[in-house]
Structure 1
Amino acid sequence: MNKRKWMGVGLAVSMLSAALVGCGTKDDSNATKENTAATNEPQEINLTIGDEVPSLDSVKGTDSISFTILGQINEGLIRLDEKGRPVAGVAKEWKTSEDGKTYTFTLRDDAKWSDGSNVTAQDFEYAWKRGLDPATKSDYAFMLSWIEGGEAYNAGKGSVDAVAVKAKDAKTLEVKLTSPKPFFLEQLAFPTFFPQKKEFVDKSGDKFGGDVDKVLSNGPFKLSAWSHEQSVELVKNDTYWDKANVKLTKATFQVVKDAGARENLYESGQVDRALLLEDQVDRYKDKKDEFSRRADLASGYLEYNEARPVLANVKIRQALTYAMDGDKFTDVVYHDGSTGATGLVPTGISDGQGDFREHNGDLVKRADNLKKAKDLLAEGLKELNMTSLPAIKLLCSDSSSSKKGSEFIKEQWRTNLGIDVQIELVPFKLRLQKQRTHDYDISLSNWGADYNDPMTFLDLFVGDGPFNDVQYKNPKYDELIKSAQSEPDAKKRMQSLYDAEKLLMNDMAIGPVYFSASSFATKPYVKNWVPRVSGPDMDLKYTYIQGKK
């Protein structure tokens, strides 16, 4: 997501995917389970996205808006089927070594780029090594650094030739990992692992992934139009190896930031699916043929920039967290099934024995700690020799729900702490930039799972991590995460992750706000809607239109 999905309030819930294999979440598909053939009806679908697409460079993408489009127009060695299980994509078959560290993939002969050229093993080797190249500055390089030699190369301490991803020939790719990763095959469906054609990237230069003629596709669809800040249009890719099973001929994504505007477009038939918020949920929840709800496997939280002296104080961070009621926040701002957060890792993430959140407990305990919030603020200020909190800003994206969410938090802090903060609303892309350059005080962020494991949340905050925008540094925390990354014993590994989350919450490096769920209205004629848990919000390969009047 981006490692996960860098969304503000209201954007993440519209973009994060639905259910993860084995996690017990509900399939939000309105579709019939029949895999019927496409009818003679126009196979076109109209959808919305919450903001402009930041980038369609799969190596540099970090957000779910970009990943959603990339997931329709490109394909990795592996793709996920309609149930979310890893199946053959560009790779027709693969073998795994006995120690679980070496994978050998054989590519299918009919995998093509949208320019008609063959997709080769060299395209994967190039893309992955480009992602690891420190000059590329890919935020998702850490995923690729699990390849033997990858971490050293990305850190500028090793050579590209030592990175153990090798094209043995045009159709054979060998990958060696530093340690077994049981979720590796599933991860290969994630956009960071998509192929790239070197000649095309070189020709496009710095504008690669930034416009229609700077994007090359090998997936079910290809980019046909991109009106920046307005819409993205995809059409069926006739060079795709499995085009016979792709029903839709066109998919249009309109940029719509306002919830009311989105509902109006849905009601007028201009879009076929709409995220529902607040009172919209109540208006649609009894429409059984249209309404659906899903768990997002995502957390919303406050990021405290510890480079600001006042926010480097743990008691002040605790006070700000405890003074914000997560359950009330979700009811007032979303009213869509989201719940107040009790830690960083959301409900629904597996620990191998069940639900991680259930087993690690409530680490926020707002009901008990709210009464302490004002005293904690006073104690923190005293430690800093301050009598009042200096002027601070709350950074959010400029969607309609972001505005409402930021106003709610502002009022909670005024009521419970007697402080006033300034709200800073900016476009989504600018918010990403300000967080990445640490040009903010407090930011409301959202992160969704990249894979079904608590590590996908907890490794965000290692000291030198690319997504550690709060600049949290605790050697003990880093040690716990590093231990979990290399520990072969499943129980010992998970204990390190339990302990890491408890330490993170004790330090209150971030302030948990909510666990995200989403409610939708979808036209009954949209069949086989396939949601995804990470990266792309959905997979349109399997979707079709039937019964539209």
Structure 2
Amino acid sequence: MKFRQLVLLGTIIGLFGSVLPGCSVRPPQNDTDDKIKLPAQELTIAMYAEPPALDSSTATASPAITILNAIGEGLYRLNKDGKPEPGLAKELPHISADGLVYTIPLREGLMWADGSPLKAGDFEFAYKRTLDPATKAKLAPMLVWIKGGSELMKAKPEELEAKKAALGVKAKDDKTLEITLEKPVAFFTDQLSMPIFFPQKPDFVKAQGDKYGSEAGAVLGAGPFKLEQWDHHQLMLVKNDKYWDAKNVKLGKVSVRIVKDAGEGLKLYGEDQIGLAELKGEQIAAYKGRQDVAVKREFVTAYILINQNPLYAPFLQNAKIRRALAASIDTKQLADGLMGGVSVPAAGLVPLGIADGAGQEFRKTAGETMSGFDPDKAKQLLAEGLAEIGLTELPKFKLSADDTEIAKKTVEFILAQWKTNLGIEVEGDPMPYAQRAQKMQDAKDFQALIALWGADYNDPMTFLDPWLTDNKSFNYITYRSKPFDDLVKAADKEADTARRARLLVDAEKRLMEDMPLIPLYFRARPFAKKTNVEGLVLPAIAKEWELKWTYIK
């Protein structure tokens, strides 16, 4: 399932703010002071969207996931290589021979940021709250691998307590958590690092009521940092001295400023006012080969969603017309030009680097599952599709997207491609991120829309199961295909990893044949990063950044 954040067509800019610009070292105070003072371990980061709420049960957007990961922690935390290592857990799980029962001992002396003890029951409470239908957690499907999870998620009010009691999550004692799955899940340990699996303090959550997660005083974590201030223009994080590994957390303060415009980012970077700036367009070539460039290689696919609800664009119900739209876009030109040659043209839906679950990379197993740029074929498909629905020309429709600079340029590029290669007119429809997310996620009110999809675990299923007919949470395009459903559900039940991988390849091929969405590119984002910033991780999955190991040298 997804963490399913809809990733912004945008960026993060890090600012290293203190009294002096940049990150500097103070000179000796006098002749006898022959030791250089250490720099202040303070970091300011600018974010382009404010977290809507910091509730680990309901968070879906990247900003919320990123902040929750800084102030909280799960049983495991992904390291710089994307591998799970013990977090609040004392060690990796003890897994039964049949792969169903995970017994996980907690570390000794764990505390919440308020100094109160953290117990195994806090995980049990959190998982049951997430699956409770009243919580309306969009990521609750990520927990249905737990025995009884699906039943609890669908429980009627009169069934709720019985379904909670039957859920396969038990605190055996204050220091031992036992999780029982419906079936073996090879990547479940990785998933336990996600905020949706973080613990919650029952008394605190209940006391906050509807305010939980909405302001600094209504947020409580057990991670490297704690939320000291949140005025909805800025979040202030400070080191959590109650964190079990506090001695290895170097940053003392992190300020996250909510900004919209990143246009002056590189200018400020050049003036040593910021320490991290995303490079775009021509900036990428200008910085090529420099030592202060870091690339964030992500498990993220940019695509065009095509609404399959006939109320919005009935002519886009035709598969040949959708395939014509796809074949008329030169995604290599998009990736090389607009994206600066760092991102890679999509060869299917599942991005580079995702494992196939059988020891190989999925893209190497699947190969290219979508046709490439072919204007002549696109014209032919359009003509055939129009004939099938009794039209002589394609009606005008809207292509919606965020109103960020990169999103608007992407819309302009695609509209130009469609006009040049198909002779059709399409209207661009940029809008603020929050409005775009609401129209897509809640109202499903769009004709075609550009978005990004990021993995929450390293497996193709995170990109494929959102499009199941019965996935009410994330099938924003109302796609319905029994052959696709059968392949994904068969893979979900398949114990043989090689056969499972082949089923997932076939599912992607079927999706690309129907083309209810058009993959554009697999995203990578280059950043200019000051060379005195060490330990900053730019993860491939879910989070924008990881600060636990960051320090200023």
TM score, norm. by length of structure 1: 0.90
Aligned residue number for residue 89 of structure 1: 87
More off after superposition, 68-77 vs 86-95: 86-95
Instruction: Return the alpha-carbon distance in structure 1 between the equivalents of residues 109 and 82 of structure 2.
Output: 24
Q: 2:540 is aligned with what amino acid?
A: V
Aligned residue number for residue 539 of structure 1: 546
Q: How does 1:105-144 map to 2 (within 5 A)?
A: 105-144=104-143
Give yes or no for contact 2:120–2:176 (8 Å, CA) kept in 1: yes
Whether 1:265 and 2:271 are equivalent positions in the alignment is: no
Whether 1:299 and 2:297 are equivalent positions in the alignment is: no
Instruction: Return the alpha-carbon distance in structure 2 between the equivalents of residues 137 and 371 of structure 1.
Output: 47
Alignment match of 1:476 (pick from 470, 474, 483): 483
Whether 1:511 and 2:515 are equivalent positions in the alignment is: no
Alignment match of 2:377 (pick from 372, 377, 389): 372
Aligned residue number for residue 186 of structure 1: 190
Give yes or no for contact 2:80–2:539 (8 Å, CA) kept in 1: no
Q: How does 1:34-53 map to 2 (within 5 A)?
A: 40-53=38-51
CA spacing shift, 1:5–1:384, aligned 2, 3 Å: same
| Residues 399-420 of structure 1, C-alpha deviations (whole Å, 9 max, x = no match) | 1111111111111111112222
Give yes or no for contact 2:2–2:466 (8 Å, CA) kept in 1: no
Q: 1:300 is aligned with what amino acid?
A: A
Instruction: Return the alpha-carbon distance in structure 1 between the equivalents of residues 187 and 272 of structure 2.
Output: 40
CA spacing shift, 1:336–1:116, aligned 2, 3 Å: farther
Q: How does 1:323-472 map to 2 (within 5 A)?
A: 323-351=328-356, 352-367=358-373, 369-436=374-441, 437-465=443-471, 466-472=473-479
Give yes or no for contact 1:278–1:331 (8 Å, CA) kept in 2: no
Give yes or no for contact 1:153–1:160 (8 Å, CA) kept in 2: yes
Secondary structure in structure 2 of the residue aligned to 1:185: helix
| Residues 217-259 of structure 1, C-alpha deviations (whole Å, 9 max, x = no match) | 210001122232x332211112212111110011122334444
Give yes or no for contact 2:297–2:539 (8 Å, CA) kept in 1: no
| Residues 320-352 of structure 1, C-alpha deviations (whole Å, 9 max, x = no match) | 111111111122322051021110011221223
Whether 1:66 and 2:64 are equivalent positions in the alignment is: yes
| Residues 98-137 of structure 1, C-alpha deviations (whole Å, 9 max, x = no match) | 1111011222232211221111112111111111112222
Aligned residue number for residue 5 of structure 1: 5
Give yes or no for contact 1:46–1:270 (8 Å, CA) kept in 2: no
Secondary structure in structure 2 of the residue aligned to 1:347: coil
Whether 1:284 and 2:287 are equivalent positions in the alignment is: yes
Aligned residue number for residue 205 of structure 2: 201
Instruction: Return the alpha-carbon distance in structure 1 between the equivalents of residues 139 and 152 of structure 2.
Output: 14
More off after superposition, 157-166 vs 67-76: 157-166
Task: State the percentage of identical aligned residues.
Answer: 44
Alignment match of 1:215 (pick from 216, 219, 233): 219
Shift of 1:281: 1.0
Secondary structure in structure 2 of the residue aligned to 1:100: coil
| Structure with larger Rg | 2
Give yes or no for contact 1:8–1:444 (8 Å, CA) kept in 2: no
Q: 1:468 is aligned with what amino acid?
A: N
Give yes or no for contact 1:336–1:517 (8 Å, CA) kept in 2: no
CA spacing shift, 1:76–1:186, aligned 2, 3 Å: same
Shift of 1:39: 6.9
Instruction: Return the alpha-carbon distance in structure 2 between the equivalents of residues 43 and 52 of structure 1.
Output: 24
| Residues 515-548 of structure 1, C-alpha deviations (whole Å, 9 max, x = no match) | 11111111111011223222222221111001xx
Secondary structure in structure 1 of the residue aligned to 2:134: coil
Q: 1:178 is aligned with what amino acid?
A: E
Q: 2:288 is aligned with what amino acid?
A: K
Alignment match of 1:521 (pick from 502, 509, 528): 528
Instruction: Return the alpha-carbon distance in structure 2 between the equivalents of residues 310 and 515 of structure 1.
Output: 28
Tell me the C-alpha RMSD between the 2 structures.
2.0
Shift of 1:165: 0.6
Instruction: Return the alpha-carbon distance in structure 2 between the equivalents of residues 178 and 421 of structure 1.
Output: 47
Whether 1:227 and 2:231 are equivalent positions in the alignment is: yes
Shift of 1:447: 1.3
CA spacing shift, 1:225–1:420, aligned 2, 3 Å: farther
Instruction: Return the alpha-carbon distance in structure 2 between the equivalents of residues 336 and 136 of structure 1.
Output: 42
Secondary structure in structure 2 of the residue aligned to 1:156: coil
Instruction: Return the alpha-carbon distance in structure 1 between the equivalents of residues 337 and 523 of structure 2.
Output: 14
Instruction: Return the alpha-carbon distance in structure 1 between the equivalents of residues 483 and 281 of structure 2.
Output: 41
CA spacing shift, 1:336–1:294, aligned 2, 3 Å: farther
Instruction: Return the alpha-carbon distance in structure 2 between the equivalents of residues 224 and 267 of structure 1.
Output: 30
| Residues 64-85 of structure 1, C-alpha deviations (whole Å, 9 max, x = no match) | 2211111111000112234333
Q: 1:350 is aligned with what amino acid?
A: A
Give yes or no for contact 1:183–1:451 (8 Å, CA) kept in 2: yes
Shift of 1:210: 1.8
Instruction: Return the alpha-carbon distance in structure 2 between the equivalents of residues 419 and 125 of structure 1.
Output: 55
Q: 2:95 is aligned with what amino acid?
A: T
Q: How many residues align?
A: 519
| Residues 446-478 of structure 1, C-alpha deviations (whole Å, 9 max, x = no match) | 112222211111112111222111111111211
Secondary structure in structure 1 of the residue aligned to 2:178: strand
Shift of 1:2: 4.9
Give yes or no for contact 1:259–1:277 (8 Å, CA) kept in 2: no
Give yes or no for contact 1:78–1:90 (8 Å, CA) kept in 2: yes
Q: How does 1:248-263 map to 2 (within 5 A)?
A: 248-263=251-266
Aligned residue number for residue 248 of structure 2: 245
Instruction: Return the alpha-carbon distance in structure 2 between the equivalents of residues 293 and 481 of structure 1.
Output: 33
TM score, norm. by length of structure 2: 0.90
Secondary structure in structure 1 of the residue aligned to 2:133: coil
Question: Which aligned segments of 4 or more residues in structure 1 are displaced greater than 6 angstroms?
Answer: none
More RCO (CA 8 Å, sep 6+):
1
Whether 1:103 and 2:102 are equivalent positions in the alignment is: yes
Give yes or no for contact 1:275–1:520 (8 Å, CA) kept in 2: yes
More off after superposition, 520-529 vs 193-202: 193-202
Instruction: Return the alpha-carbon distance in structure 2 between the equivalents of residues 254 and 305 of structure 1.
Output: 35
Give yes or no for contact 1:2–1:64 (8 Å, CA) kept in 2: no
Instruction: Return the alpha-carbon distance in structure 2 between the equivalents of residues 244 and 545 of structure 1.
Output: 16
Q: Give structure 1 stretches of 5+ with no counterpart.
A: 16-37
